[in-house]
Amino acid sequence: DVKVTQSSRYLVKRTGEKVFLECVQDMDHENMFWYRQDPGLGLRLIYFSYDVKMKEKGDIPEGYSVSREKKERFSLILESASTNQTSMYLCASADRRNTEAFFGQGTRLTVV
Amino acid sequence: AQRVTQPEKLLSVFKGAPVELKCNYSYSGSPELFWYVQYSRQRLQLLLRHISRESIKGFTADLNKGETSFHLKKPFAQEEDSAMYYCALSGNNNDMRFGAGTRLTVKP
């Protein structure tokens, strides 16, 4: 059974905190993605990575950074959390051709 | 820049009626198009991809390059089809972008 696992299901952080969201996949996938999911806006791509140590900005990278030190792990970092970053965050992985993306269960982040 | 547009946020049909979820895209190359579905309290999952030209759960989608569309269709909707549907596009640089989604409700 393929698995994409996000480290937290729910998270509450204070404004200004540095926040780490972790994602691990066990399918040896080359591509990994971070999205935020908001009602009416769908999934918006924050960052993606096609290889270890490689990263590309998506459509809304401001306020975020990522790290991919190992193939199976892709971390999203909120450098200084703000209330407008309250959202559902989804991680996904796929093979090199994006044949099929597999999603994690999501992390609902609330910044207060 | 590539973009995926789903013009309908909400769509409601009666059981047994045909359903069509619209998707338009803009991309300067040859994209790969997908439909993903999220049922209540479940993870987002692949429904179908244009390159496979297959029918999944009675759904089909045809890529129309002239109209840059990839509409999802089913001739007879079922209550279990109620879900959130996302159209997605994968480009040449390994990225994958999604539309805003359409919430389909199938009424009994």
Residue A93: which domain range? 4-111
Number of domains within chain A: 1
How far from B102 is each of A3, B20, B36, B99, CA to CA, in Å?
26, 11, 11, 9
Between chains, do B96 and A98 touch, taking CB under 8 Å as contact? yes
Q: In this structure, which amino acid lies at residue B90?
A: S
Q: Residue A2 has what pLDDT? A: 63
Q: Which residues of A touch B94 (CB under 8 A)?
A: 30-31, 48, 50, 56, 96, 98
Q: Cβ of A50 and B98 within 8 Å? A: no
Number of domains in chain B: 1
State the count of interchain CB pairs (< 8 A) between A and B: 59
Domain containing residue B73: CATH number: 2.60.40.10
A88 vs B: CB within 8 A: no
Domain of residue B76 covers 3-107
pLDDT at res. B52: 79
Which segments of chain A have a pLDDT < 70?
Answer: 1-2
- CA B105 remoteness from chain centre: 14
CATH for A12: 2.60.40.10
CA angle, B9 then B22 then B90, to 5°: 100
For residue B55, what is the DSSP state?
A: -
Q: What is the pLDDT of residue A63?
A: 96
Mutation target for A interface from B21, B96, B102: give the one with most A CBs within 10 A.
Answer: B96
At residue B101, what are phi and psi to the nearest 5 degrees?
Answer: 90, 150
Residues 28-67 of B with CB under 8 A from A: 32, 34, 36, 43-46, 49
B15-64: pLDDT as tens digits: 999 999 999 999 888 889 999 999 999 999 999 998 777 888 999 998 89
Answer whether B97 sits within 8 Å of A105, measured CB to CB. Answer: no
